[in-house]
């Protein structure tokens, strides 16, 4: 697939900003892997390394008052939405200053003030929530939309079928402004899409629900942004759902425990690395004369420093006190 | 006090709360055009229109999950399950999302959601349609679980449920929809976690909820003719569970019988008996008696179904054992 988009109106400033963001979230994720190995982060850890263009493109195209739901691979979405990296790292470290007071961890990053309605740990389990959220946004008379990010693995869950059917139904009345964003990273854990889905063109499966759909290159942020801008605005205008299958790839393992990756070859990983979203943006910036080695090094240093600040904040933050155990179970 | 049926109590509460609060919406299978399987939502589609009374496909996982999402964004959905047996495809949504999202978000979201419909057995619906889910859902922190036995409590608990900021498992009973009773006027609301002593007595405490309460009251009438006075406690809520009211009664009577329709293992009666032992072991003059459904899937045949669930005779025998 060819990278889109010399044509698109993304300013050099925006592209540079995206580059900074991409470098930062990559360094952040690499740090989480180190912290996990050092025992600072527990539980599961699913990093978004390689897949950053999808959340970056879609959340850049969305309005600040739009909302989103995401799978457990939720760090990048949360960071590009503008949540304080210190709070994200502190959540991973299980600290009181974390996004969820240390009660959610890696799989459950929330920032409702920024429209982040959370990461969810059951594959496909958040899809119906997003459909209901979209209904509520229309019911309340707004033109906000709901983005629902999930992996190719969720495509084979019953939740996908039920959520998509309801979205298709409610969309007829303009009552379901949801964008289904399939982050097709080629594998549900170690099972490739062609071993898991009878129809491997995942976008086309939304035809069954009368939901307009398309596939896009999920490695090039400019291309993703172009598609996302058009789709989000259409959904905002019509109140109807839309599905985009973004073809992407995770360079890291499924989770921190996925060390040997017997299900894929080094050559395959290397092939996809040629289309690393950071490389694609960097190449374009260099062509435009907006980035040179010195500037790149400066940005990398800035990103590293910001990551280290987040780590320091997490390290120094207090653990949740014992009474937090009993808080937030009920509202009243 | 006006008399009305359990069904009318539920329906009129839906109307009052929908009139009061535009964020209350209804979802469920055949609740609109069809008027509701048990006619609890009769006339509501006409009254409120299809955006507030949403007929759904047979898709519990989908529409219960969507109800949770609506609630997270500030609506107050009341979702009807045609029976609680059909909630199982949505168990992941209820247990993994509704019950926990407040907690794992660190308190950033609420789920003011009611899921309501008939629970339990006794109308020859056989194995897949006769189950009781109070201990299943009652096991999970984050949920509220209530099971009203009377029209007054159906109204009072439903009002509290709709105004609650937590997900509420609202267990009705198919055999109760036609039961009539007095219902207080006005803004009648029953708080969660308050059992009621519905009949005072000196000799034995009998604890029940939902349909079983009516059998227990009939048994109490029978035994009263012999001078045996049962103190009958209606739990009304299972989570939170008001063991204090039960224990206070047992301290007076020194004997306890707990009645449930569901299976014995890990059931509500075991929890209540345990709560009694923990609080007032020394006050007991006899072990706590349990009356439960038999430990088998529900049969269809009328005679077998009668054997499978507690009836007045079995409750009476248990009370007599408790008094021995």
Give the mean pLDDT of B280-296.
97
What pLDDT, on the 0 to 100 scale, is given for residue A4?
A: 46
ipTM rounded to 2 decimals? 0.96
Give the mean pLDDT of B242-248.
98
Is B96 an interface residue toward A (CB < 8 Å)?
Answer: yes
Which residues fall within 8 angstroms of residue A263, CB to CB, at 6 or more apart?
A187, A190, A191, A192
- For residue A256, name the pLDDT band (cuts at 50, 70, 90): confident
CATH architecture of A54-66+119-289: 3-Layer(aba) Sandwich (3.40)
Give the mean pLDDT of A57-77.
98
pLDDT in tens, B102-160: 999 999 999 999 999 999 998 899 999 999 999 999 999 999 999 999 999 999 999 99
- For residue A42, name the pLDDT band (cuts at 50, 70, 90): very high
Asked if residues A154 and A219 have their Cβ atoms less than 8 Å apart, the reply is: no
> Same structural domain for residues B209 and B159?
no
Q: How far is the CA of A253 from the CAs of A47, A161, A259, A260, in angstroms?
A: 8, 28, 6, 8
What pLDDT, on the 0 to 100 scale, is given for residue B1?
A: 86
- Per the structure, the complete domain to which residue B121 belongs is given by 3-182
Q: Which of A108, A135, A331 sits opposite B165 (nearest CB)?
A: A331
For chain B, give the mean pLDDT. 97
Cis peptide preceding A109, ω within 30 of 0: no
> Of B130, B154, B182, which one is at a domain's C-terminal end?
B182
Is residue B15 assigned to a domain?
yes
Angle between helices A277-287 and A221-238 (to 10 degrees): 100
Is residue B55 assigned to a domain?
yes
- For residue A7, name the pLDDT band (cuts at 50, 70, 90): low
Q: How far is the CA of B90 from the CAs of A97, A260, B141, in angstroms?
A: 33, 36, 17
What pLDDT, on the 0 to 100 scale, is given for residue A3?
A: 43
Residue A165 to chain B, least CA–CA distance (Å): 8
Cβ-defined contact of A162 to B109 (cutoff 8 Å): no
> Same structural domain for residues B175 and B247?
no
Cβ-defined contact of B105 to A110 (cutoff 8 Å): yes
pTM of the model: 0.97
Residue B97 to chain A, least CA–CA distance (Å): 8
Number of structural domains found in chain B: 2
> Same structural domain for residues B203 and B148?
no
Could you confirm whether B60 is annotated as catalytic?
Answer: yes
What pLDDT, on the 0 to 100 scale, is given for residue A259?
A: 84
> In CATH, what number is assigned to the domain containing residue B88?
3.40.50.970
> Same structural domain for residues B97 and B42?
yes
Give the mean pLDDT of B163-173.
98
> Of B135, B157, B182, which one is at a domain's C-terminal end?
B182
A·B CB contacts under 8 A: 150
> In CATH, what number is assigned to the domain containing residue B278?
3.40.50.920
> Of B133, B160, B182, which one is at a domain's C-terminal end?
B182
Cβ-defined contact of A122 to B96 (cutoff 8 Å): yes
What pLDDT, on the 0 to 100 scale, is given for residue A58?
A: 98
What pLDDT, on the 0 to 100 scale, is given for residue B324?
A: 86
The yes-or-no verdict on residue A1 having pLDDT over 60 is no
Give the mean pLDDT of A182-198.
96
Q: Using alpha carbons, select from B90, B88, B70 the residue that is nearest to residue B78.
A: B70
Rounded CA separation B87/A101 (Å): 32
The yes-or-no verdict on residue A308 having pLDDT over 60 is yes
- For residue A8, name the pLDDT band (cuts at 50, 70, 90): low
Write down the domain spans for chain A: 54-66+119-289
Q: Which of B17, B129, B173, B289 is catalytic?
A: B129
Name the residue in chain B with its Cα closest to that of A161: B62
pLDDT in tens, B188-220: 999 999 999 999 999 999 999 999 999 999 999
> Same structural domain for residues B118 and B259?
no
> Same structural domain for residues B98 and B217?
no
């Amino acid at each position: 697939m060819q990278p889109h988009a010399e044509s698109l109106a993304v300013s050099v400033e925006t592209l540079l900003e995206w580059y900074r963001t991409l470098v930062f979230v990559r360094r952040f994720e690499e740090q989480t892997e180190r912290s996990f190995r050092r025992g600072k982060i527990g539980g599961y850890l699913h990093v978004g390394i390689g897949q950053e263009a999808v959340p970056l493109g879609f959340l850049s195209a969305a309005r600040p008052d739009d909302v989103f739901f995401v799978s457990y691979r939720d760090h990048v979405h949360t960071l590009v939405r503008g949540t304080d990296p210190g709070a994200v790292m502190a959540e991973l470290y299980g600290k009181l200053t974390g996004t969820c007071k240390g009660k959610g961890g890696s799989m459950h990053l929330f920032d409702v003030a920024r429209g982040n309605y959370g990461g969810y740990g059951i594959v496909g389990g958040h899809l119906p929530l997003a459909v209901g959220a979209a209904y509520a946004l229309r019911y309340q008379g707004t033109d906000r939309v709901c983005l629902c990010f999930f992996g190719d693995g969720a495509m084979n869950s019953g939740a996908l079928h039920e959520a998509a059917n309801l979205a298709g139904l409610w969309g007829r009345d303009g009552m379901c402004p949801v964008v289904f964003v399939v982050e097709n990273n080629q594998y549900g854990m170690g099972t490739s899409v062609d071993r898991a889905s009878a129809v491997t063109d995942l976008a086309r499966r939304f035809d069954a629900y009368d939901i307009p759909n398309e596939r896009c290159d999920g490695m090039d942020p400019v291309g993703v942004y172009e598609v996302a801008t058009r789709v989000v605005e259409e959904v905002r205008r019509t109140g109807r759902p839309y599905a985009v299958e973004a073809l992407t790839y995770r360079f890291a393992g499924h989770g921190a425990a996925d060390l040997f990756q017997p299900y894929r070859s080094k050559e395959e990983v290397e092939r996809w690395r040629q289309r690393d979203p950071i490389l694609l943006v960097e190449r374009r910036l260099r062509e435009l004369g907006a980035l040179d080695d010195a500037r790149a090094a400066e940005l990398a240093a800035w990103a590293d420093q910001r990551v280290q600040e987040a780590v320091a904040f997490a390290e120094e933050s207090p653990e949740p006190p014992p009474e937090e155990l009993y808080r937030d179970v009920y509202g009243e | 006090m006006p008399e009305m049926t359990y069904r009318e109590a539920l329906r009129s509460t839906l109307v009052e709360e929908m009139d009061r609060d535009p964020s209350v919406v209804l979802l469920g299978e055949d609740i609109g055009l069809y008027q509701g399987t048990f006619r609890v939502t009769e006339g509501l589609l006409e009254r409120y229109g299809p955006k507030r009374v949403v007929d759904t496909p047979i898709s519990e996982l989908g529409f219960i999950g969507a109800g949770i999402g609506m609630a997270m964004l500030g609506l107050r959905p009341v979702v009807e399950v045609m029976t609680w047996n059909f909630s199982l495809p949505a168990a992941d949504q209820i247990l993994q999302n509704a019950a926990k999202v407040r907690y794992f978000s660190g308190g950033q979201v609420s789920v003011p959601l009611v899921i309501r419909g008939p629970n339990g057995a006794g109308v020859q619906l056989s194995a897949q349609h006769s189950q009781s889910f109070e201990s299943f859902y009652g096991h999970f922190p984050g949920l509220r679980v209530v099971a009203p036995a009377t029209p007054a409590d159906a109204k009072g608990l439903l009002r509290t449920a709709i105004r609650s900021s937590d997900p509420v498992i609202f267990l009705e009973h198919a055999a109760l929809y036609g039961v009539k009773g007095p219902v207080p006027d006005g803004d009648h609301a029953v708080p969660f976690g308050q059992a009621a002593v519905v009949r005072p007595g000196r000799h034995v405490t009998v604890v029940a909820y939902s349909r079983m309460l009516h059998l227990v009251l009939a048994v109490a009438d029978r035994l009263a003719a012999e001078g045996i006075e049962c103190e009958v406690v209606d739990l009304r809520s299972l989570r939170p569970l008001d063991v204090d009211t039960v224990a206070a009664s047992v301290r007076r009577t020194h004997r306890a019988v707990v009645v449930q329709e569901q299976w014995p293992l890990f059931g509500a009666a075991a929890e209540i008996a345990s709560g009694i032992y923990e609080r007032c072991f020394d006050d007991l003059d006899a072990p706590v008696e349990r009356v439960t459904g038999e430990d088998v899937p529900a049969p269809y045949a009328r005679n077998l179904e009668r054997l499978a669930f507690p009836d007045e005779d079995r409750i009476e025998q248990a009370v007599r054992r408790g008094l021995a």
